């Protein structure tokens, strides 16, 4: 019986298979031995950040860190470890309050590359460090104004205006303690001998109420990252103030002296707007209303493109009529024209004292019969009663003498 078993060919087949398997195990182990090594710079990632944000929390410290893993595995596994990404995942979804956190690293926290399967033997012996330490803080966001500071110089004959920014505010968000320190965003412009308006997209610095840069500001998020800064540079020019003299009352521009205080002002504007500007008129002065010396304040009105750098909003204008004589005449030649339809108008005033002015020789030749007083009722509202209306006074037959002043007469209106 024993000889039959030994002589059977099947026993040799089985023994060959067993021997081959043992040899395969031996050769495989020798060719792909297990080794122990350190996998460095393994990135720590956080899951559940959405839950933190919903609670108004954030990771303020320790968001970016790595750990080292001491691992025993075969050479083949190590090759795949080196080729893929290995991470340590920390779940923060259960954190409800701010504070310092410490989470132990276990094999359940570690994620290996997809090329590593359950059939691969990996023994994580220890990690360095053994815990992931991080800080959770309150999250905050606010809008802060953008301000500018100019470090430089402006060319002679030019002036810089105020900064403007687009947008006028930036949004700062991050750790509440840091956000609360931010007072404004500061744009700094450094230019020399500027003669044209500056307009650039600029970065800015987050500063506190004392104007000092906020420490750890790089940990904050700010949006947008740049703002459009505009620093207008305008030209300065000194221009003279004038008045327009309207001849009247026997006087012309040659018969008056005009004093204006201030005589000149400095204005700023674009060079093209200032190129043809040599004077600014304050308005008209009708000499027919000026008797002797007249002083009045007149507003200094500028085009919207210009700015009065000097400051005063009005000028004092003094007009003196010199070298002419005056004469008063009692005039009863009063006429009413353009009576309203359906109404009658009768004069209450029968005569007016009229002042005329001119050279003495021409003045002596003027008589009351040369003067006409006309009351034009074309713009009069149709109502009855006695009222005062303005009149025009005409002097016929003399070009050198004129009427001075304004006049009114009383009339009575009745229905016809």
- In a domain, residue 306? The reply is yes
Q: Is the pLDDT of residue 105 over 60?
A: yes
pLDDT digits (tens, 9 = 90+) for 370-382: 999 999 999 888 7
Q: Is the pLDDT of residue 15 over 80?
A: no
Which of 187, 191, 186 shows the shortest CA–CA distance to 151?
191
Residue 378 has φ and ψ, to the nearest 5°, of -65, -30
Name the pLDDT band for 150 (thresholds 50, 70, 90): very high
- In a domain, residue 138? The reply is no
DSSP class of residue 212 equals P
Q: What is the mean pLDDT of residues 105-125?
A: 86
Return the top range by mean pLDDT from 2-11, 81-90, 294-303. Answer: 294-303
Q: What is the mean pLDDT of residues 308-315?
A: 92
Q: For residues 172 and 146, is the Cβ–Cβ distance under 8 A?
A: no
Q: What is the mean pLDDT of residues 238-264?
A: 95
Q: What is the mean pLDDT of residues 135-152?
A: 94
Q: Are residues 243 and 217 in the same domain?
A: no
Cα–Cα distance for residue pair 218/61, rounded to 1 Å = 12
Q: For residues 264 and 236, is the Cβ–Cβ distance under 8 A?
A: no
Distances (CA, A) of 176 to 136, 142, 205, 219: 11, 10, 18, 11
Q: Is the pLDDT of residue 100 over 90?
A: yes
Joined tokens for residue 118: 């359950």
- In a domain, residue 136? The reply is no
Joined tokens for residue 181: 């320190």
Q: For residues 329 and 353, is the Cβ–Cβ distance under 8 A?
A: yes
3-state helix, strand, coil in the chain (%, to 5): 15, 50, 30
pLDDT, position 28? 46
Total structural domains in the chain?
Answer: 5
Q: Are residues 264 and 305 in the same domain?
A: yes
- In a domain, residue 26? The reply is yes
Joined tokens for residue 242: 């004038």
The domain in which residue 201 lies consists of 143-231
Cα–Cα distance for residue pair 310/308, rounded to 1 Å = 6
Name the pLDDT band for 166 (thresholds 50, 70, 90): very high
Q: Is the pLDDT of residue 27 over 80?
A: no
Q: What is the mean pLDDT of residues 167-189?
A: 95
- In a domain, residue 49? The reply is yes
pLDDT, position 340? 87
Q: Is the pLDDT of residue 7 over 60?
A: no
Which of 186, 173, 183, 181 shows the shortest CA–CA distance to 219?
173
Q: What is the mean pLDDT of residues 10-37?
A: 64
Q: Is the pLDDT of residue 216 over 80?
A: yes
Last residue of a domain, one of 296, 321, 346: 321
Cis omega (within 30 of 0) for bond into 262? yes
Name the pLDDT band for 281 (thresholds 50, 70, 90): very high
Q: Are residues 243 and 302 in the same domain?
A: yes
CATH code for the domain of 47: 2.170.120
More confident residue, 215 or 121: 215
CATH code for the domain of 261: 2.170.120.40
- In a domain, residue 241? The reply is yes
**Strand spans (E) along 52-195:** 57-61, 66-74, 87-91, 99-104, 110-111, 122-128, 131-150, 158-160, 164-166, 169-175, 184-189
> Lowest-confidence range among 26-35, 105-114, 265-274, 401-410?
26-35
Last residue of a domain, one of 101, 129, 157: 129
pLDDT, position 10? 65
- In a domain, residue 221? The reply is yes
Q: Is the pLDDT of residue 22 over 90?
A: no
Tokens 């003094």, residue located: 318
- In a domain, residue 255? The reply is yes
> Lowest-confidence range among 26-40, 170-184, 344-358, 402-416?
26-40
Cα–Cα distance for residue pair 313/207, rounded to 1 Å = 38
What mean pLDDT value characterizes the chain? 90
With a CB cutoff of 8 Å and minimum separation 6, the contacts of 238 are: 264, 265, 266
Cα–Cα distance for residue pair 88/66, rounded to 1 Å = 8
pLDDT, position 20? 56
For the range 308-311, what are the long-range contacts, defined as Cβ-Cβ under 8 Å and sequence gap of 24 or more? 308/265, 308/266, 308/267, 309/159, 309/236, 309/265, 309/266, 309/267, 309/268, 310/262, 310/265, 310/266, 310/267
CB count within 10 Å of CB 398 equals 16
Last residue of a domain, one of 231, 250, 277: 231
Q: Are residues 225 and 247 in the same domain?
A: no
Q: Are residues 40 and 71 in the same domain?
A: yes
Name the pLDDT band for 248 (thresholds 50, 70, 90): very high
Q: What is the mean pLDDT of residues 84-93?
A: 90
CATH code for the domain of 401: 2.170.120.30
Q: For residues 35 and 73, is the Cβ–Cβ distance under 8 A?
A: yes
- Containing 3, the helix (H) or strand (E) segment is helix 2-7
Q: What is the CA radius of gyration of the chain?
A: 50
Distances (CA, A) of 76 to 35, 68, 82, 247: 10, 20, 10, 111
> Lowest-confidence range among 46-60, 77-91, 241-255, 347-361?
77-91
pLDDT, position 288? 92
Q: Are residues 386 and 362 in the same domain?
A: yes
Q: Are residues 362 and 314 in the same domain?
A: no
Cα–Cα distance for residue pair 175/333, rounded to 1 Å = 92
Residue 107 has φ and ψ, to the nearest 5°, of -60, -25
């Amino acid at each position: 019986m024993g000889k039959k078993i030994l002589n059977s060919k099947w026993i040799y087949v089985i023994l060959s298979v067993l021997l081959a398997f043992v040899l395969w195990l031996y050769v495989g182990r020798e060719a792909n031995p297990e080794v122990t090594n350190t996998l460095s710079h393994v990135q720590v990632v956080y899951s559940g950040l959405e839950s933190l944000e919903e609670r108004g929390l954030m990771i303020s410290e320790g968001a970016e860190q790595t750990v080292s893993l001491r691992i025993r595995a075969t050479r083949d596994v190590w090759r795949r470890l080196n080729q893929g990404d290995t991470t340590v995942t920390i779940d923060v979804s259960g954190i409800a309050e701010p504070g310092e956190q410490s989470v132990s690293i276990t094999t359940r926290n570690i994620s290996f590359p997809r090329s590593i399967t359950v059939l691969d033997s990996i023994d994580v012996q220890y990690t360095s460090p053994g815990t992931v330490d991080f800080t959770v803080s309150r999250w905050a966001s606010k809008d802060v104004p953008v301000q500018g500071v100019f470090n430089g110089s402006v060319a002679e004959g030019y002036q810089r205006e105020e900064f403007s920014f687009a947008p006028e505010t930036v949004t700062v968000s991050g750790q509440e303690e840091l956000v609360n320190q931010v007072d404004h965003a500061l744009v700094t412009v450094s230019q020399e001998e500027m003669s044209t308006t500056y307009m650039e997209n600029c970065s800015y610095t987050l500063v506190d109420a004392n104007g000092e840069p906020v420490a750890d500001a790089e940990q904050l998020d700010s949006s947008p990252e740049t703002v459009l800064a505009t620093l207008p540079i305008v030209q300065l020019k000194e221009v003279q103030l004038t008045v327009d003299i309207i001849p009247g009352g026997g006087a012309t521009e040659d018969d008056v002296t005009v004093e204006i205080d201030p005589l000149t002002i400095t204005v700023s504007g674009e060079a093209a707007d200032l190129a043809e500007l040599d004077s600014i008129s304050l308005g008209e002065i009708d000499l027919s209303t000026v008797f002797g010396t007249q002083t009045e304040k007149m507003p200094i009105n500028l085009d919207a493109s210009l700015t009065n750098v000097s400051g005063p909003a009005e000028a004092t204008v003094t007009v003196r009529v010199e070298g002419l004589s005056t004469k008063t005449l009692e005039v009863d030649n009063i006429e009413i024209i353009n009576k309203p339809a359906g109404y009658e108008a009768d004069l209450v005033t029968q005569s007016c004292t009229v002042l005329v002015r001119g050279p003495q020789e021409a003045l002596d030749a003027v008589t009351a019969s040369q003067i006409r007083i006309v009351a034009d009722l074309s713009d009069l509202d149709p109502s009855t009663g006695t009222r005062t209306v303005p009149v025009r006074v005409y002097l016929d037959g003399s070009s050198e003498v004129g009427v001075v002043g304004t006049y009114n007469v009383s009339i009575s209106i009745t229905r016809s």
